Structure 1
Amino acid sequence: MIDDVKGAAFPFRIDPATGGVAWAFGADKIRQNVRLILGTRVGERPMLREFGSRLHGLVHEPNDSAIIDLLRNQAQQALLQWEPRILAIQTQVEQSEGEVHMRILYTHTNEAAGGELTIPVL
């Protein structure tokens, strides 16, 4: 169940009410995990070298239709590998002047509920 998902909040912070580590639960924690996975470069974590995505390696590539397919493919592969509690249904890449945003529609594998997340990519 989605309500069983629990972990340290991302970005890491101290809860002012308790003085301890802030926690995130349920759909909010999964959304944070997706941001963390797509925002981490492969090789960035010393103890888990394969964690993350290869999106950052595409920063200097030409902004054309081929890069859109690569971004979509890299994001879906990373999410399949590192967040098995969701399934990306649709990934849209939106280009504007100087910016690229990715909109991910996903469904939770345990429930019929879904979510949507838009993140800046390049």
Structure 2
Amino acid sequence: MPDPRGAAFPFRIDEQTGGIAMTEGPEKIRDDLRVLLGTRLGERPMLRDFGTRIHALAHEPDDDVTADLLRKQAHEAVVRWERRVVVTRARVDRAREGELHLVLDYVHSDRPVAAQMIIPLV
């Protein structure tokens, strides 16, 4: 299976070619995970089930229940929509008071590449 290739996220122009910046392989998968986790459920008109409810938890109390909901919703979205990775661990860390980080440890399903993604949730 060839490496996935597509437009980089966030969208930008490649300074060297003047065309659309592209990414491929592990970086493309990482970009696609950012898109998935940054999309509100129902935001995409033609794909209403794509995304997460993470944004709906922004004003909830900073407690263990909210952290567990964040972790679970992110994990479920990745399992459903991103078949190129297997999540080995998902957790929410408290960086400072009122600042949470979603930490996803994953491996690529088609090769022995492990990666970690840390997403600030403020």
Q: Could you tell me which residue of structure 2 aligns to residue 16 of structure 1? A: 15
Which contiguous aligned blocks of 4+ residues in structure 1 show a shift greater than 6 angstroms? Answer: none
Q: Could you tell me which residue of structure 2 aligns to residue 89 of structure 1? A: 88
Does residue 1:70 correspond to 2:72, yes or no? Answer: no
Letter in 2 for 1:112: P
User: How high is the sequence identity, in percent, across the aligned residues?
Assistant: 49
Contact 2:40/2:52, CA 8 A, preserved across alignment = yes
Letter in 1 for 2:33: V
The higher relative CO (CA closer than 8 Å, separation ≥ 6) is in 1
Q: CA deviation at 1:10?
A: 0.4
Contact 2:101/2:119, CA 8 A, preserved across alignment = yes
Equivalent pairs, count: 121
SS at match of 2:48: coil
Q: Could you tell me which residue of structure 2 aligns to residue 5 of structure 1? A: 4
Q: CA deviation at 1:37?
A: 0.7
The TM-score normalised by the length of structure 2 is: 0.92
* Unpaired stretches in structure 1, ≥5 consecutive residues: none
Q: CA deviation at 1:47?
A: 2.2
Q: Could you tell me which residue of structure 1 aligns to residue 46 of structure 2? A: 47
The TM-score normalised by the length of structure 1 is: 0.92
* Unpaired stretches in structure 2, ≥5 consecutive residues: none
SS at match of 1:111: coil
Letter in 1 for 2:85: I
Letter in 2 for 1:121: L
Contact 2:6/2:24, CA 8 A, preserved across alignment = yes
Does residue 1:102 correspond to 2:102, yes or no? Answer: yes
